[in-house]
Amino acid sequence: MTQLDDRPTTMPQPTTFSAPTDGETVRRHDKDHVFHAWGLAGADTMSVARTEGSWLWDTEGRRYLDFTSQLVNANLGHQHPRMVAAIQEQAARMATLGPAYSVDVRSEAARLIAERTPGDLDMVFFTTGGTEANENAIRMARVHTGRHKVLAAYRSYHGGTAGSMAATGEPRRWATEPGMPGVVHFWGPYPYRSAFHAESAEQECERALQHLRDVLMVEGPASIAAILLETVVGTNGILVPPDGYLQGVRDLCDEHGIVMISDEVMAGFGRCGEWFAVDHWGVVPDLLVFAKGVNSGYVPLGGVAISPAIADTFRTRPFTGGLTYSGHPLACASAIASIGIYEDEGIVEHARALGTDVIGPGLRALMERHPSVGEVRGLGVFWALELVRDRTTREPLVPYNATGEANAPMAAFTSACKERGLLPFVHFNTTHVVPPLTTTADEVREGLAILDEALEVADRST
Ligand code: PLP
């Protein structure tokens, strides 16, 4: 059922520089010279000729529905004309300017972001992505409190550099250990695989908070600078916190003068059907970390929205952190365009409706048909199917740290999706359903129909 398309499958030749565009040369140069992230160096990658909306075309003419939004960043889909035009226009106006100057697009992007972040998070520090934003949020919390420890969840991903990788709880942390001193991990709520043997969401919330309080006490609250949490855990399985959990964390932070850092790199900017995921629970963190959806990754951008109390700390002493490309004009112009599109096209409302009316019911229907689906969870356009060998025992289809042969059933599932024209976002035993927020209901249904067929491959391992 490979999708073919009659439109051109090579990129237009660039006119101001030269780069071969035929698939074979691109793939060969890629294999020989591009050291890819996450172990893909030297691997056979798909060479992409064209992208548009929720679709990619490879250089052989096959069409794929992007159920990944790439790395859950392309919230507005590919090649949105307003995004492209804004970047082109800003490149002609002013392509680069260092962070020490004020420039119209940077001030306006900061103002628009501050207007949308919850509560009084009115100042914005710009970075070039989520990793650096977490690094800098941790630094702000440490200087602000004069403490050094950071508490973060085991099932988390916070980024790829030393500090944010140390804060990351999942197995990708192992290769960089011992990492940054002072990070302590704890178990966050995860009712399907409760670390606390809870039997309901309420019990999970209560016990997870008691566990966090216990960790805090044994580590010494006076040494803890921050609790860093993904509001809704993303890559590690779309774990939506039970009602009351985030407020409980907020209360613990207030009680002990700890900075609450919400990592909304993946969950923010409409992904969860609100501007920010914390808005679902009315909780205002002290630092809110964003990236990805802020401008759909058209130009690298991330940042930290900062509370007045923390911003005040750095009025009397310098913030010893900075980046050459902090608030890059092209990135800021694209953020302004992006926020305009969110407003004009009702993107947040569309994301909410897609989740409630199409993705949620569609995935629950898949669960009824496929024994390999252990749980469906999510909100907005941020969903996961957790795949299991056995629904009763909940044994995962592949282990949480699966590589090589151990990962074979998920690799087979991934191939089955790709052969049918769907790009899935797979991490260990979950497959995420995270298309661009601009995806139509019909496109989502098309993707769900492919998942339906591909899950038969996973069912064979049950
Ligand atoms: N935090 C979260 C929750 C993420 O999902 C990611 C990336 O996937 C990051 C931080 C790191 O962001 P980046 O890859 O933009 O550096």
Nearest atom in ligand 1 to 156's CA = 3
Residues 146 and 216 in one domain: yes
Does pLDDT of 342 surpass 60?
yes
Distance CA 225, CA 214 (A): 16
Domain endpoint, select from 345, 363, 396: 345
Does pLDDT of 75 surpass 70?
yes
CB half-sphere exposure, 201, CA atoms < 13 A: 7
Q: Which of the two residues, 23 and 66, has the higher pLDDT score?
A: 66
CA R_g for the chain:
22
How many domains are there within the chain? 2
CATH classification of the domain holding 322:
3.40.640.10
For the chain, what is the mean pLDDT?
95
- Answer yes or no: are the C-beta atoms of 59 and 23 closer than 8 Å: yes
Distance CA 25, CA 27 (A): 5
Q: Among 170, 292, 323, 434, name the best residue to mutate to test ligand 1's pocket (greatest count of ligand atoms within 8 A of Cβ).
A: 292
Which residues, at least 6 apart from 460, have a Cβ–Cβ distance to it below 8 Å?
none
Residues 88 and 68 in one domain: no
Q: What is the pLDDT of residue 21?
A: 85
With tokens 């172990």, the residue in question is 39
Q: What is the pLDDT of residue 45?
A: 84
- Answer yes or no: are the C-beta atoms of 287 and 139 closer than 8 Å: no
Q: What is the pLDDT of residue 41?
A: 63
Q: What share of the chain is helix, strand, coil (3-state, %, to 5)?
A: 40, 20, 40
- Answer yes or no: are the C-beta atoms of 205 and 242 closer than 8 Å: yes
Residues 89 and 206 in one domain: yes
Q: Could you tell me if residue 17 is inside a domain?
A: no
Q: Please provide the DSSP assignment of 175-190 as one string.
A: GGTT-STTEEEE----
Residues 176 and 74 in one domain: no
User: Considering all CA atoms of the chain, what is the largest pairwise distance in Å, rounded to the nearest integer?
Assistant: 64
Distance CA 393, CA 163 (A): 36
How many C-beta atoms lie closer than 10 Å to residue 85's C-beta?
Answer: 12
Residues 431 and 298 in one domain: no
Residues 75 and 124 in one domain: no
**304 residue type, one letter:** V
| pLDDT > 70: percent of the chain | 97
Does pLDDT of 455 surpass 60?
yes
DSSP 221: G
Residues 374 and 292 in one domain: no
Q: Among 165, 230, 266, name the best residue to mutate to test ligand 1's pocket (greatest count of ligand atoms within 8 A of Cβ).
A: 266
Q: What is the pLDDT of residues 261-284, one digit of tens each?
A: 999 999 999 999 999 999 999 999
Q: What is the pLDDT of residue 190?
A: 98
Residues with Cβ within 6 A of ligand 1?
71, 129-131, 134, 157-159, 230, 234-235, 263, 265-266, 291, 302
How many C-beta atoms lie closer than 10 Å to residue 29's C-beta?
Answer: 13
Q: What is the pLDDT of residue 20?
A: 86
Q: What is the pLDDT of residues 280-306, one digit of tens each?
A: 999 999 999 999 999 999 999 999 999
Residues 203 and 178 in one domain: yes
Residues 184 and 114 in one domain: yes
Q: Which ranges of 317-440 would DSSP assign to H, the alpha helix?
A: 329-344, 347-353, 360-369, 408-419
Domain endpoint, select from 345, 365, 396: 345
Residues 376 and 411 in one domain: yes
Does pLDDT of 459 surpass 80?
yes
Residue nearest to atom 5 of ligand 1 (CA): 266
Domain endpoint, select from 292, 326, 345: 345
Question: Containing domain of residue 434, as a range?
Answer: 23-79+347-460
Residues 447 and 362 in one domain: yes
Dist. CA 462 → ligand 1 center (Å): 32
Dist. CA 179 → ligand 1 center (Å): 18
Q: What is the pLDDT of residue 403?
A: 86
In degrees to the nearest 10, what's the CA dihedral of 158, 330, 123, 168? 0
Residues 28 and 135 in one domain: no
CATH classification of the domain holding 31:
3.90.1150.10
